[in-house]
Amino acid sequence: PPQQCVSIILAAHNEQQYAEKTLSSIYENTPTSVLKEVIIVDDGSDPPMETAFDRARFPDVIILRSDERQGLIRSKNKGGDAATGDIIIFLDAHVKPLPHWVDPLIRHINTNYKRVVVPLIPVLDGQTWEVNNNAVGIKMMFDWSLAFNWFDDGNDLVPCMSGGLLAMSKRWWTESEIFV
């Protein structure tokens, strides 16, 4: 059966400045028929991440807090294990999902439940929260000298994964123990 509902995990440490903007973008640009839950894994932030956004606007956000720093991978493991959606999507707490952002992720995962897919990553202006259309691209790559570059070639295949943003089926998460 097709996998349709998503759990979005935000592993965060001291990203209070962007939390509300990121949550707004997620809720505005992810269909309610698809979005099962948003989980913020607070990796020892000071002050706690739950103080960084209006709980009245986002009452369904689940906060999993570690009082002491656990690190990115342990935080992702904690969020991935807690997720109840068919698809787990890991995002940074400083991203702006755009309209229809989740559609290609769901499509690729439903093609093969073992696929690990990456969303397109537009470059944002940290002050205005607007996409920088003058940026070099939205995909990452390394050239033959292993220099990092951004590019855009008009399709949704991504040759290189960023470390923080990715999606996979909950089934593959459980089978592969990906971050263990």
Distances (CA, A) of 14 to 52, 75, 121, 122: 9, 13, 21, 22
Q: What is the DSSP string of 77-138?
A: HHHHHH--SSEEEEE-TT--PPTTTHHHHHHHHHH-TT--B------B-TTT--B-TTSS-S
Instruction: Give tens-digit pLDDT for 22-50.
Output: 999 999 999 999 999 999 999 999 999 99
Say what the pTM is.
Answer: 0.88
pLDDT (tens digit per residue) in 62-100: 999 999 999 999 999 999 999 999 999 999 999 999 899
Write the DSSP string, 146-168: --EEEE--SSS--SS--SS-EEE
